[in-house]
Structure 1
Amino acid sequence: MRDLLVVGIVLIGSLYALRQPWVGVMLWTWLSLMNPHSLAYGFAQTFPVAAIAAIATMIGLLATKEKQSPFSESPAIWLLLFVTWICFTYPFSYNVDGSTEMLSKVLKIDLMILVSLMLLRTRRHIEIFVGVVVFSLGFFGVKGGLFTLLQGGAHRVWGPGGFIGGNNELALALIVVIPLMRYLQLQATRRWAQHGLSVAMLLTAAAALGSQSRGALVAIAAMAFYLWLKSPKKVASGIVMLAVGMALLAFMPDQWSDRMSTINTYQEDSSAMGRINAWWAAFNVATHMIAGAGFEMYNPYIFALYAPVPNDVHAAHSIYFQVLGEHGFIGLFLFMGMWWSVWRTGNWLIRNGGKEPETLWCKHLGAMCQVALVGYAVGGAFLSLAYFDLPYNILVIVILAKRWILNLRSQNQDKIESMSRENSVVATGNPSSAKLSTI
């Protein structure tokens, strides 16, 4: 039944995307984040659902006239530069053949990000897009939160596969999506929706803690601190955050507390020291190879040459050292520049959203996207998720919201100029002059 449901949704959605390609963007986003086919038990697991959705979307893109340049804002330009550099470094990879699969995966994700920027335009598009992102990951948050509560936090919450197959990776994704849930709650007008999203946020936070990820604990603490710092009611918000945090932490078992306490004694933890060893390997690679060592640098040969402990081979476990080792200092500069540009676009939304009453939602969206970026920046320091779709979806969201405000202002200005011309005609009593002025 699950197989028929997933494949049926994909086929119907893909047919609809041929005429309305923005639907294909939503379908692709759902498939790439949630991997619903991995939850099935039969033929859907190997059915090319993502390829079908992408092809239908691209055909619809070619046919529609309702598209725009994806490079109207600086984050998209930084993304283009980053992807271009990745393609340039690919032939210089230590293992070119081994890097091909990952390069193909990254290019597919980034291509669909650019397609999203071309096809999504309206407020309705933006809010549906945010809703799809929240549903795709919130499903695992609610499910994992219930599991944590029912099991008393004794067992770890694991991801569905793909980028977020591990407990640590899933925890970061859940943390990053919580602020987007909060945005939807701010826009909700029905009490049941507001309360439902409150429950979803609490369960998602419980699931993140239930993953027993130390990086997730640090990331969620950083997000909470940033929220408190920006809150206009610091005392009230601080009390609420403290109460919720203490309630969740009190629920977790002793084994969870014992694992979290190793943050202070990381020198004695083999996993933590293995990550540090991989960080040094990435740094040393970047100092010797301007293009880095490519996606497949985590092997005994590279570590024998560049790691302090040659036989301790680990993945980078950090978005920063991951990009540094794989694509060198130039790649890291472009990667950091892209996210700094996304942050600044969020700032622009906060400053400009609300200047017109109908743009207040953009202010809320920009603020929550910044909170999500704090979670990604802090939690990503301990995980290899540099190419994961979710943060790039945030890039799409802030660009679309800024473009929406600029388009609204342009339309309002056109209306003002039109009214001014009409008033001048009435004042002069010469309708022919109006015709001349509008040519």
Structure 2
Amino acid sequence: MDLGVIWLLITAALVLFMTPGLAFFYGGLVKSKSVISMMMLSFGSIGVVAVLWILYGFNQAYVDGSDADWIPRVLGNPFSDFGLQDAAKAAFAGEDGSGVVMASAIFGATFAIITVALISGAIADRARFWPWMLFTALFSTLVYFPVASWVFAFDASGDFTGWVNKLDEKFGYAAGTIDFAGGTAVHINAGAAALALAIVLGKRKVGFSKEEAQPHNVPLVLIGAAILWFGWFGFNGGAAIADGQVGLIFVNTLVAPAAALIGWIVVEHFKEGKATAVGAASGIVAGLVAITPACANLTPIWAIVLGLVAGAVCAVAIELKYKIGVDDTLDVVGIHLVAGLIGTLYLGFFAIDTGLFVGGNYEQLVVQAIPAFTILAYSFVVAFVLGKVIDLTVGFRAKEEDEIAGIDLALHGGGYAMD
């Protein structure tokens, strides 16, 4: 059996485990009366996105090199192998390369799932379940699948075909865009969509204040953060093709979030006079997000610096929602969008051999900034339109009385049995 296929399948299992971990992380942060609703948004994403990815998402995302110009087709060809029927027959027959195709399909599916699930944290305590499921299907089809083709698509020879990875050819640069594991396609994408939905749904009736934003189950938050960190080694390492590269990725996936934890709780100590467990967990996630695009292209020293910066900046960034009045309930924007941008742009300065401050020039920064802000804008606009249309038609937000009482009972049943 091909060791590369085995590696992809193992890491795919790790990444899939991250979405239940995210459900625990988010579930612990909300009030006890909406914990099941919050967790169901993540599990609902698994159901919808996994099915759509296998039906046509994989074919949308991976554009064949013969059909891809500098800007490939927006949606690839979703019906080129609908439901992976041809790929399945090839795998059944044991044809060469069929195992890689199926393993790549499952690995890509796990990325699509968690990207959509991340968005849900911005609309906690007030989003209805079935409208969320509709949004999940539409956002996956119109945003994540095509964006994945821009960033991750490759042809049979292994060459990247999406426009993000052709910027160096377009501009005649020596440095190409670096996004090893999805800083743009996953975190900036999800963070921008989260901002859009937070604006569409508006503020919570109860709970939008720093004093009221108290998690109901801190141990659940820590369990979720631990699962996310564990799964992230697969998230970052799955696409690695050499032993040395895997080793570097694993080292950076350890030290960057560890440093971000320190950066976050130091800021928290000076702001609040104490370091909290939720702050430590949030710092870990911020560091994981920041190292995602950069995991294979930084020395460990610069990965530590990145973690410290991301943790400290995100600890400050999450406070901005109170100043601008946008109710991003669980700080998806303040962590995933901000840390995703930091990690993506940081490569322009510190990427091995090509960063501005470590032997390169401005070119790396240019090819990092263009896809980062393009994907941010595209995701925000489409998510805003989708959210607005859903809200005006079927209604995205829960009834006011259900929201105040707690939406678990109205939508799913209670989370905790009361004696």
TM-score under structure 2 normalisation? 0.30
Between Structure 1 and Structure 2, the one with more helix by share is 1
TM-score under structure 1 normalisation? 0.29
Structure exhibiting the larger radius of gyration computed from Cα positions: 1
